[in-house]
Amino acid sequence: MSTTYDMVPDGLLNDEKALLEGMYGKFGGMYVPPPLEEKLQKLSSEFRSAIDDPLFRNEFSYYLKHFVGRPSPLFLARNLTEATGSKIYLKREDLNHTGAHKINNTIGQILLAKRMGAREVIAETGAGQHGVATATAAALVGIKCKVFMGKVDVDRQSVNVSRIKLLGAELISTEMGTATLKDAVNAAIEYWVTSPDSFYLLGSQVGPHPYPVMVGYFQHIVGKEARQQIIEAEGRLPDSIFACVGGGSNAIGLFGAFLGDNNVDIHAAEGGGSGSKPKTAATLTFGEPGVFQGTFSYCLTDDKGQPTDSWSIAAGLDYPGISPQHAYLKDTGRVKYHVVTDQEAIDAFRMLSRTEGIIPAIESAHAVSLAVKLLKGKNSLGIINLSGRGDKDVERELA
Ligand SMILES: *Cc1c(COP(=O)(O)O)cnc(C)c1O
């Protein structure tokens, strides 16, 4: 990495249609009732003015470097390289403060909230990872924080519940519906609409415009660094790159900088669950195009075309929707989306722990599994996005 810490993307890949309307081909947009649309339009214009402002960009860079600990290393995994016959690098997002890529986005959005004069930020969380990242960012800038979580998740994620409270956030447990992630989203949106001074801090590249474009922007640093680092290390671009996709934020973070490099193959690992419907979270493989939670993208549906619950061993991948940008990248064929099952992810989780001394998040293990499968015996050069660390996963019967 060079000595200047220019970590912010140079404009939005010149994609005006995405920036202004949140459209990726026919996907994306803002499918919401009027009161919400008004808030989103305001957020969209404030976001554009923020990223045009060098002071905002410098502040974002400052916190990425000194609070998150960027740039994250690009690590040559020698044992994995020996085992597969392909040179494999790991982009170490697991080394970020709080242990995953999510902090890049929460820092960006909290600075935007502060700039907009928000008195309070709200967030939804499933397993609690985004709740912790948001509570962390809110503590950093001194804004009040409410985290909405389904009662069922509160009961099974006690460590993250304690972390959220320790960081000074208020935890709001909801008993609506199945009392899990999508119910927490609904509760948070309801609160947001009725609280003019609040800012909704969304955790992945999903939901209505401008969230997908904002989250993509704040995560762009991952690929921007990786591209520079691989050129420094190898003198050339990789043959292929890999990431897991839940909502799509760590994947778009890595992929964004390489989309224009047509010689770089891009592969994404979906949370395959059992490997077939209905016990799966592989939205792009098994889902249908449709409107879900404010955006037109793919979604897992039942026989009648209604959105269904997803299934994956990895809480971060367990979502029935997907980023509209990934929907577009699938339809254009630029990115290949693959099913990786729970069992394959568990095998990769154990394998990376033993071969490299790195315990990956079970989400990231999906990408490791896919990369090893596709690179075996290929004598090529690949990068895997290691989106997070696996401390949170060791207690389950994975070890
Ligand atoms: C949340 C999470 C994911 C999935 O979210 P994306 O938005 O698809 O990146 C992947 N890995 C880790 C470690 C996570 O915490």
Domain ranges for the chain, please list them.
25-67+102-216, 69-99+220-393
pLDDT attached to residue 126: 87
Using alpha carbons only, give the angle 381, 384, 389 rounded to the nearest 5 degrees. Answer: 150
- Annotated active-site residue 387? The verdict is yes
CA of 254 to the centre of ligand 1 (A): 12
Q: Is the pLDDT of residue 13 over 70?
A: no
CA of 58 to the centre of ligand 1 (A): 26
- Annotated active-site residue 124? The verdict is yes
pLDDT attached to residue 178: 83
pLDDT digits (tens, 9 = 90+) for 284-299: 999 999 999 999 999 9
Q: How far is CA 121 from the centre of its chain?
A: 19
- What is the number of other CB atoms lying within 10 angstroms of the CB of residue 164? 26
pLDDT digits (tens, 9 = 90+) for 105-131: 999 999 999 999 999 999 999 889 999
Lowest mean per-residue pLDDT among 100-104, 186-190, 253-257, 342-346: 186-190
Q: Which residue has the tokens 């992630």?
A: 181
Lowest mean per-residue pLDDT among 24-33, 175-184, 278-287: 175-184
Question: Is 204 touching ligand 1 by the criterion CB < 6 Å?
Answer: yes
**DSSP string covering 69-132:** -PSPPEEE-HHHHHHHSSEEEEEEGGGSGGGBTHHHHHHHHHHHHHHTT-SEEEEEESSSHHHH
**Nearest in space to 36 (alpha carbons), one of 298, 296, 211:** 211
Nearest atom (ligand 1) to Cα of 364: 11
- Residues 294 and 212: their CA atoms lie apart, in Å, by 11
pLDDT digits (tens, 9 = 90+) for 214-250: 999 999 999 999 999 999 999 999 999 999 999 999 9
| pTM above threshold 0.75 | yes
**Nearest in space to 181 (alpha carbons), one of 197, 165, 199, 204:** 204
Architecture (CATH level 2) of domain 25-67+102-216: 3-Layer(aba) Sandwich (3.40)
Q: Is the pLDDT of residue 10 over 60?
A: no
Q: Is the pLDDT of residue 5 over 50?
A: no
- Residues 181 and 315: their CA atoms lie apart, in Å, by 10
- Residues 122 and 170: their CA atoms lie apart, in Å, by 10
Give the amino acid at 188: A
Nearest atom (ligand 1) to Cα of 253: 9
Same fold flag, 25-67+102-216 and 69-99+220-393 = yes
Grade residue 157 by pLDDT with cuts at 50, 70 and 90. confident
Q: What average pLDDT score do residues 177-192 get?
A: 89
pLDDT attached to residue 15: 65
Rg of the chain taking only CA atoms, in angstroms? 19
Q: Does domain 69-99+220-393 have CATH number 3.60.110.10?
A: no
Question: How confident is the prediction for the chain on average, in pLDDT?
Answer: 93
pLDDT attached to residue 20: 84
pLDDT attached to residue 399: 53
CB 245 within 8 A of CB 232: no
Sorted by sequence, the CB contacts under 8 Å of residue 275 that are 6+ apart come out as 339, 341
What strand order describes the sheet that includes 335-341? 74-76, 87-92, 381-386, 240-245, 265-273, 335-341
Q: Is the pLDDT of residue 180 over 90?
A: no
Q: What average pLDDT score do residues 40-46 get?
A: 96
Question: Is 360 touching ligand 1 by the criterion CB < 6 Å?
Answer: no
Nearest atom (ligand 1) to Cα of 317: 4
Give the amino acid at 212: P
